[in-house]
């Protein structure tokens, strides 16, 4: 309830700010919410396929990046040997902005969806490896010793201690990276291809259809909010113990 | 278990120039149903002794046996309670109490029953669905006890289990430890740096000293095991005796 009220207040604030800016700047490139709204309603049919195209790419790429990155991170964090080998590589590769590989991926995988999904998956992968590696290093030793003294196997220690204690970090990483993922997707879709919200926004821009462009921007913002909120809810459900 | 026996045990951490001798020529026995306390300043090898008994650590030299066979690793009816209790904060009180049984693949129904009994024994049954984070320090300690008791242990090892609690709660839980031990009949080893705790709970008290860790002397304390003992003159005399021994050993007990 409190959360819903918060969202209403946040949305109202953003709309008012947008309105004031639109009036102040008075440019066709920044239409008022009132001018955008009918556009959003009337091109809803046109936007939805683009929305689903973008949504599908984000979900697929984040799933790939997480499913590959999180186990790698946990492994590197728990194994001294793996950390010695892969830790330095991470330090070199992690700060590289992955978006710069977009042209390479376009050449290798073509201008369709694959290159976009792979690029986002790579960015998410590195974020996951680094976050989960740190989380795995901070698993409470007392919990592990207790499990060992109860003659737990390595697998049991992983499923009952390492995994649950790293789960909050996983969701934090997901929430933070969904912003990055949407940003990369926008750039990738606007540069090449003929589907997705990024394409839609830049296409409307090139036709000087500003209200339509803004309808696309609102849809892209909604995509980010939906993802963030979904991860937030998933985190609440799986880490109830943290609020005990 | 009839007897836990350490004979001429050395434990050396590291190797070469950096080697640190944690335990030097330790002889140590605990019989069935006995309550033994180990006291000494930090670095005297108290915790190392417990890790040996639990099977988490193997000696560098000498032998550690239970009923004549060497301790190869963690044993089904030995339970270890660590200083920070080793509870899993992401599991409910009940799931924590069931943990040892789950690891040993005890069927769900029996697991639930035995955990409930153990929680009842320590007075936590009404908190079964809470998470450890919402429990007080004393309740967490009792949960750690319940987890051990659910396993039907015959040897309970405790590493400074009460050191995080305030004085009154500490005495209460010492009474809890005493009554559970009398009721359940397991052998227990209590590592502590508190003199009165060692004297109240230990039928024999191993006084240890550091650099390298070794046993200075073993104090016989047959009167331990009774609530009335704490108020008696003998109790205070025994505390003073142990305090003097610790002082002579050079480390000094941190407090009584």
The tens digit of pLDDT for each residue in B107-144 reads: 999 899 989 988 988 888 899 899 988 888 888 888 98
User: Using CB atoms within 10 A of its CB, is residue B105 exposed (0-12), middle (13-18) or buried (19+)?
Assistant: exposed
Q: Is residue B232 scored above 60 in pLDDT?
A: yes
Q: How far is B253 from chain A (nearest CA, A)?
A: 25
Structural domain including A20 reads 1-30
Q: Do B74 and A150 touch (CB under 8 A)?
A: yes
pTM of the model: 0.77
Whether B190 and B36 have beta carbons less than 8 Å apart is answered as yes
Q: Is residue B252 scored above 70 in pLDDT?
A: no
CA dist A121 and A58 (Å) reads 9
Please give the C-alpha separations between residue B242 and each of B141, B164, B219, in angstroms, as whole numbers. Answer: 26, 22, 8
Looking at every residue in chain A, the average pLDDT score rounds to 88
Q: Is the ipTM of this complex over 0.90?
A: no
Picking from B48, B78, B83, B90 by the largest number of A CB atoms within 10 A of its own CB, the best residue to mutate is B90
Q: Is residue A229 scored above 80 in pLDDT?
A: yes
Q: Is the same domain home to A26 and A41?
A: no
In the block, tokens 């050079």 appear at: B250
For residue B212, whether the previous peptide bond is cis, meaning omega lies within 30 degrees of 0, is yes
Whether B98 and B111 have beta carbons less than 8 Å apart is answered as yes
Q: Do B56 and A156 touch (CB under 8 A)?
A: no
Q: Is the same domain home to A42 and A150?
A: yes
Q: Is the same domain home to A209 and A142?
A: yes
Nearest CA in chain A to B75: A151
Strand partners, B66: B4, B69
User: In sequence order, which residues have a C-beta less than 8 Å from that of residue B241 and are 6 or more positions away?
Assistant: B219
Nearest CA in chain B to A240: B90
Q: Is the same domain home to A78 and A110?
A: yes
Q: Is residue A74 scored above 60 in pLDDT?
A: yes
Looking at every residue in chain B, the average pLDDT score rounds to 87
Whether A181 and A58 have beta carbons less than 8 Å apart is answered as yes
CA dist B102 and B100 (Å) reads 5
Q: Is residue A80 scored above 50 in pLDDT?
A: yes
Q: Is the same domain home to A46 and A121?
A: yes
Q: Which of B93, B101, B95 is nearest to B124 (CA)?
A: B93
Q: Is residue A244 scored above 80 in pLDDT?
A: no
Q: Do B99 and A148 touch (CB under 8 A)?
A: no
Q: Is the same domain home to A64 and A106?
A: yes
Whether B239 and B197 have beta carbons less than 8 Å apart is answered as no
Nearest CA in chain B to A151: B74
Confidence of residue B251 (pLDDT cuts 50, 70, 90): low
Give the pLDDT score at A54: 93
Confidence of residue B256 (pLDDT cuts 50, 70, 90): very low
Over B2-48, what HEC string results?
A: CEEEEEEEEEEECCHHHCEEEEEEEEEEEECCCEEEEECCCCCCHHH
Q: Is the same domain home to A96 and A210?
A: yes
Q: Is the same domain home to A207 and A155?
A: yes
Nearest CA in chain A to B51: A149
Each residue's pLDDT tens digit, A93-107: 888 888 888 888 888
Q: Is the same domain home to A9 and A44?
A: no
Picking from A140, A145, A146, A153 by the largest number of B CB atoms within 10 A of its own CB, the best residue to mutate is A146
Q: Is the same domain home to A2 and A114?
A: no
Q: Do A241 and B74 touch (CB under 8 A)?
A: no
Whether B97 and B118 have beta carbons less than 8 Å apart is answered as yes
Domain of A194, CATH number, reads: 1.10.3720.10
Q: Which of B39, B43, B28 is nearest to B155 (CA)?
A: B28
Q: Is the same domain home to A9 and A63?
A: no
CA dist A217 and A31 (Å) reads 12
Q: Is residue B253 scored above 70 in pLDDT?
A: no
CB-based contact, A155 to chain B, within 8 Å: no
Each residue's pLDDT tens digit, B24-71: 888 988 999 899 999 988 888 888 999 999 888 889 998 898 988 888
Q: Is the same domain home to A77 and A176?
A: yes
Q: Is residue B175 scored above 70 in pLDDT?
A: yes
Give the pLDDT score at A17: 93
- Percent of chain A at pLDDT exceeding 70: 99
Domain count for chain A, please give it: 2
């Amino acid at each position: 309830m409190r959360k819903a009220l918060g969202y209403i207040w946040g949305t109202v604030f953003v709309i008012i700010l947008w309105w004031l800016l639109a009036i102040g700047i008075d440019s066709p490139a920044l239409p008022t919410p009132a001018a955008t709204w009918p556009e959003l309603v009337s091109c809803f049919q046109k936007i939805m396929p683009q929305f689903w195209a973008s949504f599908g790419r984000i979900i697929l790429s984040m799933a790939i990046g997480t499913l590959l990155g999180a186990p790698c991170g946990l492994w590197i964090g728990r194994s001294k040997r793996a950390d010695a080998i892969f830790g330095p590589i991470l330090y070199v590769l992690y700060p590289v902005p992955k978006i710069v590989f977009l042209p390479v991926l376009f050449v290798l995988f073509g201008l369709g969806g694959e290159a976009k999904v792979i690029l986002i998956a790579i960015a998410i992968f590195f974020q996951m490896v680094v976050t989960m590696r740190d989380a795995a290093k901070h698993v409470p030793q007392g919990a592990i010793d207790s499990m060992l003294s109860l003659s737990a196997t390595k697998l049991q220690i992983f499923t009952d201690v390492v995994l649950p204690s790293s789960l909050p970090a996983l969701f934090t990483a997901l929430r933070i990276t969904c912003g990055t993922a949407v940003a990369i997707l926008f750039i990738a879709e606007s540069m090449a291809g003929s589907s997705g919200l990024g394409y839609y926004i830049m296409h409307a821009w090139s036709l000087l259809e500003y209200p339509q462009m803004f309808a696309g921007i609102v849809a892209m913002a909604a995509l980010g909010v939906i993802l963030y909120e979904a991860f937030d809810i998933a985190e609440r459900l799986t880490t109830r113990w943290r609020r005990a | 278990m009839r007897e836990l026996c350490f004979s001429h045990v050395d434990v050396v951490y590291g190797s070469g120039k950096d080697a640190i001798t944690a335990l030097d020529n330790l002889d140590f026995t605990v019989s069935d149903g006995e309550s033994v306390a180990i006291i000494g300043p930090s670095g005297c090898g108290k915790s190392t002794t417990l890790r040996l008994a639990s099977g988490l650590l193997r000696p560098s030299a000498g032998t550690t046996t239970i009923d004549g066979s060497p301790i190869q690793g963690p044993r089904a009816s030995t339970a270890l309670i660590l200083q920070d209790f080793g509870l899993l904060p992401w599991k409910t009180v009940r799931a924590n109490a069931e943990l040892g049984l789950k690891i040993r693949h005890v069927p769900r129904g029996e697991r639930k029953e035995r955990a409930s009994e153990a929680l009842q024994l320590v007075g936590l049954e009404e908190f079964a669905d809470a998470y450890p984070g919402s429990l007080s320090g004393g309740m967490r300690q009792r949960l750690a006890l319940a987890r051990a008791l659910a396993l039907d242990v015959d040897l309970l090892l405790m590493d400074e289990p009460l050191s995080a609690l305030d004085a009154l709660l500490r005495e209460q839980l010492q009474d809890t430890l005493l009554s559970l031990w009398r009721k359940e009949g397991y052998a227990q080893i209590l590592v502590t740096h508190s003199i009165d705790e060692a004297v109240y709970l230990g039928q024999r008290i191993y006084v240890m000293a550091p650099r390298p860790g070794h046993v200075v002397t073993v104090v016989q304390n047959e009167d331990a095991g009774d609530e009335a003992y704490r108020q008696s003159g003998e109790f205070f005399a025994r505390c003073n005796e142990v305090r003097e021994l610790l002082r002579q050993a050079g480390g000094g007990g941190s407090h009584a």
